[in-house]
Amino acid sequence: MESNEFHTVRGYQLLEQEKKLLTSAMEDYLEMIYRNIGNEGYMRINTLAEMLNVRPSSATKMVQKLFQKGFVEYEKYGIITLTEKGKALGEFLLKRHNIIEKFLSSIGIRDNLLIETELIEHNLSIDTLRSIDQLNSFFEEYPEILKKFKQYRSMKK
């Protein structure tokens, strides 16, 4: 079975190209914008600031940077939309987040799951991410192996 999570080829090609230009914070913004547009169809500067726990003025500055790099458009009343390039990269960033979170969750991490995902996600190579994605699929296909690991883990505690 082919891995189903990891098919946004364009998304990670973009990330490779933009790697030196995008900070972790910019990635977080783009991921959050993509996530919210997926849920609600749009994103507002104020909502974005709330979600990321920053001041609206900081959010505005970051959105301007993302605009300069061609990832977002923003209009009056603080409405943010994604360009095609922004959508492709946002989709990849959200997938990357979900792959890491799923992996940590499946090996039994419960505390600080979100915080740890956020810390790890920015620093992985594509190859490592792909391998983790494959491991997730492997666990799905062979749940008995994951079950064995969990038994092993509880024995060693």
CB closer to Co ion out of 79 and 114: 114
Compute the least distance from the CB of residue 35 to Co ion, in Å.
9
Instruction: Give the nearer residue to Co ion in terms of CB position, either 40 or 142.
Output: 40
Minimum CB separation from Co ion for residue 19, in Å?
A: 16
Nearer to Co ion, 80 or 99 (CB): 99
Nearby residues of 29 by Cβ (< 8 Å), 6 or more positions away: 48, 52, 59, 62, 63, 66
Asked if residues 80 and 45 have their Cβ atoms less than 8 Å apart, the reply is yes
Q: Which residue is nearest to Co ion (CB)?
A: 97
Binding site residues, Co ion, CB under 5 A: 31, 97
Q: Toward Co ion, which CB reaches closer, 63 or 120?
A: 120
Q: Are 60 and 42 in contact (CB under 8 A)?
A: no
Cβ 144 to Co ion, closest distance in Å? Answer: 31
In the bound complex, what is the minimum distance in angstroms from residue 14's beta carbon to Co ion? 17
